[in-house]
Amino acid sequence: MKKTLSNCLLAGALFLSALAFASLAACGGGGSSDSNVAQNTGSVGIMLTDGPTDDFDQIKLEIEKIELLGTGPRISIFEGTGKSDEEKTVDLLDLANHSELFSLKSGIPAGFYSKIRLTLAEKGLALVKLNPDGSPQDTVYPKLPGNRKLDLNPRGQFEIVAGGTSYLQVDLDAEKSIHVSNGYQFRPVVFVDVLHSGLPGKLVKVEGFVTKVDQSQSKLVLCTESPEQSSEDDDFEGCTKVYFSEASIFNDEADLTDSEQITLGSKLTAAGFILFDDDDDHSSDDEDHTPSKLKAEVLELGGAEAFQVVKGPVKRSPANALDTFTLADTSTTEVTVALQEGTRIFSRTGQRLDFDDIQPDKVAAVDGVLSSEPDGPFKSALVILGNLPSPDKIQGTVQGADPAKQTLTLSIEGASKTIVINEKTLFFRISEQVDGMLSTHASLEDLQPGQAVDVYGSEEGDNFVAQVVLWEE
């Protein structure tokens, strides 16, 4: 069987956005031709993403194993061999603007599950500061739970549907998860969404080899292995079917081209949105039995070997859709970015934007290739814009919680402060377990007087409105 996408595209299950972990890369796999088995099993994709943070240049997560926990035996979705080159490492900061499909596996017993267990490598989390030339300046390894196991508890049980594909989007918020107290400590603040239908917010990136291409239907199949590496009895287990009829296609020099340049065995990156089993246009298109489907917005021929990503605050806006703009790639370097015919522009949440949304109050991440011309611009294929400032943080001790008034009163250095709660406020309870650390969604009613809490939010008029409230037990 084909292995799942080895580039670890976590597009859901772990929503590591800005400081989360996202990329759905396939590993392992193995379906069954038995129809009875197929009727009682489903496919699961793990997507990683992260939220933005400015404290480090790289936040690298090295994963040994991902499992689903329910009432029965633990079900492995991804498992390395224990060798460092076999485990999957993702840079969470690369996922601030998109999700990546990290693992995709079929043959998962249908039914209800309650937790996702993530096992990290021995030095499974690395915080890296870089020198201006890109070389490592300093690396810090935060303290991990004793046995490196993180149990992620979504809001209630989630169901793996027989015959379908469920995406677990895991957003591990690094900014709130990395705690400074006698060194760096790691306490997982994780947002988990289980997606059966509807599009994930962020764009999803999938990289692989073109194993099959159908020009008449504008679709292709991306797999970890090239056709030359695959045996004749391989099927498309763990691969992703990509529909590109509406996509902008760029060659390895970031020039707009056509689909005739897509060749069997070539490598490319597809950026787009996951298609679900209930999608009317493609729900019956399953002759290849690919558990994952993507509607592409951009195809980058040559993949990550050809395309780079530059990111930073926008300094100068473009005057039109084919103009240039500048961004500060570092504190001392500005990059001139050229918009081109076919360049797609999106927000971090997946909303399609236009050139006039590229403004100095935004930060941009740009996929492209540096022009070969002297002093030429960085030619763009994809621009993703964001303006997510880090929220303010308040630390205090609970004096009282009033669910009726939606307020939380804290004691802060002897003074009382009232925090406003609304329907968007999220609560997390983090506890040490015998076999690892558990991150659980909680509620205002779970808070007790005397409990020390961290509150992230923002001042709105005379009120401090909470976005996230978290505490350790």
- 398 phi and psi, to 5 degrees? -65, 125
**What letter does residue 391 receive in the DSSP assignment?**
P
Find the CATH number of the domain harbouring 404. Answer: 2.40.50.320
Across 212-225, average pLDDT: 91
Please say if the pLDDT value at position 241 is more than 80: yes
Q: What is the CATH number of the domain that holds 368?
A: 2.40.50
User: In angstroms, what CA-CA distances link 345 with 129, 355, 425?
Assistant: 29, 7, 29
pLDDT score, position 143 = 81
For the four alpha carbons of 171, 175, 180 and 181, in that order, the dihedral sign comes to: negative
**Residue among 212, 278, 198, 197 nearest 243 (CA):** 212
According to the model, what pLDDT value does residue 411 have?
A: 95
Same-domain status, 8 and 140: yes
Residues 258 and 331 in one domain: no
Strand stretches in 371-462, DSSP E: 378-386, 392-402, 407-412, 415-420, 426-433, 436-441, 452-460
Report pLDDT for 6. 24
Selected residue with higher pLDDT from 178 and 385: 385
Element (H, E) at 151: strand 149-153
Whether the predicted pLDDT of 17 surpasses 50 = no
Q: What is the mean pLDDT of residues 278-299?
A: 71
* pLDDT band (50, 70, 90) for residue 451: very high
pLDDT value of position 315: 95
Tokens 């763009």: give the residue.
Answer: 380
Q: What is the pLDDT of residue 29?
A: 35
Least confident range of 146-150, 162-166, 335-339, 341-345: 162-166
The helix or strand, by DSSP H or E, that contains position 125, with its residue range, turns out to be strand 115-130
Q: Give 91's pLDDT tier (boundaries 50, 70, 90).
A: confident
Can you name the residues that pair with 416 across neighbouring β-strands? Answer: 411
One domain for residues 189 and 262: yes
User: Which band of pLDDT confidence, cut at 50, 70 and 90, is reported for residue 28?
Assistant: very low
% of the chain surpassing 90 pLDDT = 38
Q: Same domain for 212 and 139? A: yes
Q: What is the mean pLDDT of residues 94-101?
A: 75
Q: Are residues 4 and 140 in the same domain?
A: yes
pLDDT of residue 5: 24
Q: Are strands 149-153 and 115-130 parallel, antiparallel or unpaired?
A: antiparallel
Counting beta carbons within 10 angstroms of the beta carbon of residue 371, is it exposed (0 to 12), middle (13 to 18) or buried (19 or more)? middle
Sorting pLDDT into bands at 50, 70 and 90, what band is 78?
confident
Mean pLDDT of 32-49: 53
What are the backbone angles phi and psi of residue 160, rounded to the nearest 5°? -95, 120
Distance of CA 322 to the CA centre of its chain: 30
Encoded amino acid at 66, one letter: I
| Domain's final residue, options 264, 284, 306 | 306
Which of 306, 341, 364 is at the close of a domain?
A: 306
Same domain, 318 and 293: no
**Which of 166, 164, 205, 171 lies closest to 189 in space, CA to CA?**
171
Which band of pLDDT confidence, cut at 50, 70 and 90, is reported for residue 11?
Answer: very low
Q: Which SS3 state, helix, strand or coil, does residue 178 take? A: strand
Q: Are residues 166 and 176 in the same domain?
A: yes
Summarize pLDDT for 413-433 with one digit per residue, the tens. 989 999 999 998 989 888 887
pLDDT band at 284 (very low <50, low <70, confident <90, very high): low
Distance between CA atoms of residues 331 and 182, nearest Å: 30
Query: DSSP state, 389?
Result: P
Identify the pLDDT of residue 125: 87
**Per-residue pLDDT tens over the stretch 342-382:** 999 999 888 999 999 999 989 999 999 999 999 999 999 99
Which is higher by pLDDT, 388 or 303?
Answer: 303
Q: How many domains is the chain built from?
A: 3
Residue 216 is predicted with a pLDDT of 95
Do 409 and 329 share a structural domain? no
Closest CA to 118 of 72, 91, 149: 149
Say if residue 22's pLDDT is above 80.
Answer: no
Verify that 271 and 313 share a domain, yes or no.
Answer: no
Residue 31 has pLDDT above 50, yes or no: no
- Give the residue numbers spanning the domain of 423: 392-472
* Predicted pLDDT at 3: 28
What average pLDDT does the structure give for the chain?
79
Write down the pLDDT at residue 426. 87
- Same domain assignment for residues 36 and 179: yes
Picking from 110, 46, 123, 50, the residue whose alpha carbon sits closest to that of residue 78 is 46
Distances (CA, A) of 53 to 20, 56, 361, 387: 10, 7, 16, 12
3-state class (DSSP) for residue 175: helix
Please tell me the predicted confidence (pLDDT) of residue 133.
Answer: 76
Q: 151 and 80 in one domain?
A: yes
The answer on 91 and 107 residing in a single domain is yes
pLDDT digits (tens, 9 = 90+) for 254-282: 999 999 999 999 999 999 998 876 554 55
Compute the distance between CA of residue 17 and CA of residue 267 in angstroms, rounded to an integer: 26
Among 358, 386, 414, the domain-final residue is: 386
